[in-house]
Amino acid sequence: MSPWVPVSVLGNYSLPYVVTEVLINDRRIDFLNPLQAEALRKGVLGGCNAIVVAPTASGKTLIGELALLKKALEKSMGLYLVPLKALASEKYVEFKVWEKLGIQVGITTGDYESPAEHLGKYDIVIATYERFDSLLRLKPSWLNKVGAVVIDEMHLINDGERGPILEMIASRLLSMNAQIIGLSATVGNPNELASWINGELVTVDWRPVKLIEGVYDRSKNRIVFNDERIEEVPRETGDPALDVALESIRNGIQSLVFIHNRRRTEELASELARVAPSTHGVDIEGLSEYLSKLSSESPSRIEVEKLQPLIQRGVAYHHAGLSNVARRVVEEAFRERLINVVFATPTLAAGVNLPARRVILSVKRYDPHLGRYVYIPVFEYKQMSGRAGRPQYDPYGEAVIIDASSASHGFMKYVNAEAEPVVSKLNNERSLRIHTLALLAGGEASTVEEIVKAYSMTLYGHSSGELNSLVERVEAIIDMLTSWNMVHNYSGVLVATGLGRTVSSTYIDPLSAHIFLSNASVLKENTFTYLHLIALTPDYSRSRPYIPSRIIRDFEDMALIDSENGIALPPPGENTVSYDFWLEAYVHARMLNDWISEDPEDKVTEVYGVGPGDIHSIRETASWIASSLARVAYTVKKQALAHVLDALSLRIEHGVREDALELTRLEGIGRMRARTLIKAGIKSLEDLAKAPTKHLMSLPGFGGRIVINVKEQLHRMGYKVIT
């Protein structure tokens, strides 16, 4: 194992001393740890490709960061890719420190249709996977400047949605001869990944905080750790998660509890808050700032009413249904050690950097397809247990399994086993049709052979070695795209049509466009029908939040009546989507319709059993699909329909009726303020420009700062502003 080395050693790798100064003075990093030293030894700063595998908080990010910095100082461009927008924002703030050296740092996470030529002025750009994939298709002029790309959370190649995107990104980067650095905490086959990208494997037997693993023995009410310690746990509630969490609070141990069910995280948090010692370790004064932020900024009254009393008792929950504000409040208060216990779904383990002294976790989850509980993969256990131990705070971290089948065999299966290998998910029809069209639309291939060659550079091609079956599948995809008028086949020479190029550039699934075009001629001028169509697309399905089946069935009669009256799309026939899928899409369309009708957010969450975070997710997805379908409509000369879809996209984005669209063009004017203005007789930007400042400040929700900001925006837009 490489030893710790002073950061001054970076001078040996052609990095100026100012880099060392920034690390010491701004990051408080005096030494490079064994993993980082090993990365230097393996040649990461010399331009070699690498797969870096190490536990959470082991300093992987800095390895990629230094490689990008080196390229930037050599006048190349570097990109740091992450799966989530929240992570992109987090890294952007971290990397801004390098602007002291004259390095320009940028970020791009959306607008899949824009080639973003302006990004060429930056030296380092943080982007989401999907955004960079779209840029590789759109080919902005600065792409030839890219010298290195860091792919964070590389193990997500195992993900059915994001995995194929990562494979195609890596395939294109290999053909561009750009340096690839993949970072991951848990990979069962790191050597295979390193071999695929022709790179070095960087990994060391070192962890920043020692991990001690344990199992709760329910028969004896105690935790048995693999360092031979035993911790007695009084049986107070009968629920292992609660009893272990309670004992952790008494011992002053901050804990994360991972539960595979969103509703259950809320129930357990409420129960723990009820039975937890009321004053133990809770700093009410310290929490006041966070409680105030939650109360004033959360879009949901219900969310505030549920979370606030829990946080006051040092307890919280965290899942995708929370608003961004609520998630940030919980995360920040937990980092400041103001919250003792957070019950979270495992998505937290895969994204946000939120370590805890103790991780309490379930290794069983309900599989609705099998109708029973199943054990999670070792990979997922490693992801969750990796959050145990806070560098600089804890001498060690603890991971406690609460539901292993036995205190020995079931437990040791997770402690001793290696994570499962990462496996390609590219070989499915959806991925192949999306990426085949992208290769043709981008001019990277024009024959079946060239398409297969591009796929041969993916993990799928590297690991399978047998591409004959892929030829047949690609040919079938080409036939499909040709029948949809997205590709022309000129005796074996394949060319994307104008429609095909539009579909690829908007980043939607070709099947979504086909579903839309197949129905476009029969669609009535009915907003709800468009929403139903959007909810039926495979792109919407990717981020569709769960609506309880009991709620979906409550809408069944309404759905059938609306379909008979031409308001909703008719139920499916043979060889199309299932009836259940059609009905579920109808309910989602109802939810979207309530949203753009300006129903209060709390009402939407109550009626459909979703959370504020779910509304944000579907709003973002549906708005993008509507905008993309508008581009498709323009391409096929359906201009009137395109205008309707453009307006619908904006309505979904802002959650407003059509009469409020003009007002929401202004920053700071959302659905509530726009409706307040309209009720006050201010219905346009011209009206707003003429409205006296004093009058505006008398309206609910319009303080001095927002009014000044609105007036300044109107002035910049050329309106004659009355103050």
Residue 424 belongs to some domain of the structure: no
- Give the CATH number of the domain where residue 675 resides: 1.10.150.20
Q: 268, 316 in Cβ contact below 8 A?
A: no
Residue 423 belongs to some domain of the structure: no
Same domain membership, residue 195 and residue 54: yes
**Which 3 state secondary structure label does DSSP give 488?**
strand
Q: Among all chains, which residue has been given the structure tokens 């746990």?
A: 233
Query: At 216, phi and psi to the nearest 5?
Result: -85, 120
Residue 422 belongs to some domain of the structure: no
> In the prediction, which pLDDT does 369 show?
80
**Domain final residue, candidates 202, 218, 247:** 202
Cα–Cα distance for residue pair 303/345, rounded to 1 Å: 17
Same domain membership, residue 486 and residue 538: no
Same domain membership, residue 457 and residue 348: no
Question: Encoding tokens for residue 702?
Answer: 């319009």
> In the prediction, which pLDDT does 536 show?
95
From the list 85, 80, 82, the residue with the least C-alpha distance to 67 is: 80
Rg (CA), the chain: 27
pTM: 0.91
Cα–Cα distance for residue pair 643/634, rounded to 1 Å: 9
Q: 591, 618 in Cβ contact below 8 A?
A: yes
Same domain membership, residue 476 and residue 502: yes
> In the prediction, which pLDDT does 563 show?
92
> In the prediction, which pLDDT does 579 show?
93
Query: At 46, phi and psi to the nearest 5?
Result: -95, 0
Cα–Cα distance for residue pair 649/668, rounded to 1 Å: 19
Residues of the chain with pLDDT under 50: none
Question: Encoding tokens for residue 346?
Answer: 């495992």
- The order of strands in the sheet holding 255-258 is 230-232, 222-225, 210-217, 396-401, 358-361, 255-258, 341-344, 315-318
Q: 81, 128 in Cβ contact below 8 A?
A: yes
What is the residue range of 711's domain? 664-716
Question: Encoding tokens for residue 482?
Answer: 């040709």
Same domain membership, residue 350 and residue 479: no
Q: How many domains does the chain have?
A: 5
Same domain membership, residue 344 and residue 459: no
> In the prediction, which pLDDT does 522 show?
75
Q: Beta strands of 515-656 (E only): which ranges?
A: none
> In the prediction, which pLDDT does 470 show?
86
Q: Among all chains, which residue has been given the structure tokens 């902005």?
A: 140
Cα–Cα distance for residue pair 307/294, rounded to 1 Å: 9
The secondary structure of 128-187, three-state, reads EHHHHHHHHHHCCHHHHHEEEEEECCHHHHHCCCHHHHHHHHHHHHHHHCCEEEEEECCC
**Domain final residue, candidates 655, 674, 696:** 655
Same domain membership, residue 70 and residue 26: yes
Same domain membership, residue 244 and residue 176: no
In order, the DSSP letters of 610-651 are --HHHHHHHHHHHHHHHHHHHHHHHHTT-HHHHHHHHHHHHH
Cα–Cα distance for residue pair 240/221, rounded to 1 Å: 9
Same domain membership, residue 578 and residue 488: no
From the list 151, 172, 173, the residue with the least C-alpha distance to 162 is: 151
Same domain membership, residue 167 and residue 35: yes
Question: Encoding tokens for residue 202?
Answer: 């960087």
Query: Side chain identity at 523, as an amino acid letter?
Result: L
Q: Which residues pair with 124 in a beta bridge?
A: 78, 105
DSSP summary character for residue 236 = S
| H-run or E-run covering 86 | helix 85-95
> In the prediction, which pLDDT does 574 show?
63
From the list 277, 409, 392, 270, the residue with the least C-alpha distance to 335 is: 392
- Give the CATH number of the domain where residue 442 resides: 1.10.10.10
Q: 187, 38 in Cβ contact below 8 A?
A: no
DSSP summary character for residue 1 = -
Cα–Cα distance for residue pair 185/158, rounded to 1 Å: 13
> In the prediction, which pLDDT does 600 show?
94
Same domain membership, residue 344 and residue 196: no
Q: Is the dihedral of CA 329, 335, 337, 340 positive or negative?
A: positive
Residue 38 belongs to some domain of the structure: yes
> In the prediction, which pLDDT does 281 show?
64
Pairing of strands 364-367, 372-375: antiparallel
Residue 183 belongs to some domain of the structure: yes
Cα–Cα distance for residue pair 454/431, rounded to 1 Å: 14
Cα–Cα distance for residue pair 190/204, rounded to 1 Å: 12
Same domain membership, residue 563 and residue 583: yes
User: Dihedral (C-alpha) 328, 331, 334, 335: value to the nearest 10 degrees?
Assistant: -100
Pairing of strands 222-225, 210-217: antiparallel
> In the prediction, which pLDDT does 303 show?
94
CB-based contacts of 126: which residues, under 8 Å, 6+ apart? Answer: 79, 80, 81, 82, 88, 91, 92, 95, 105, 106, 107, 108
**Domain final residue, candidates 416, 437, 469:** 416
**Which 3 state secondary structure label does DSSP give 510?**
helix
Q: Is 566 left (phi over 0), alpha (psi -120 to 50) or beta?
A: left
What are 528-582's pLDDT values in tens digits?
A: 999 999 999 999 998 889 999 999 999 999 999 999 998 998 888 766 789 999 9
Residue 376 belongs to some domain of the structure: yes
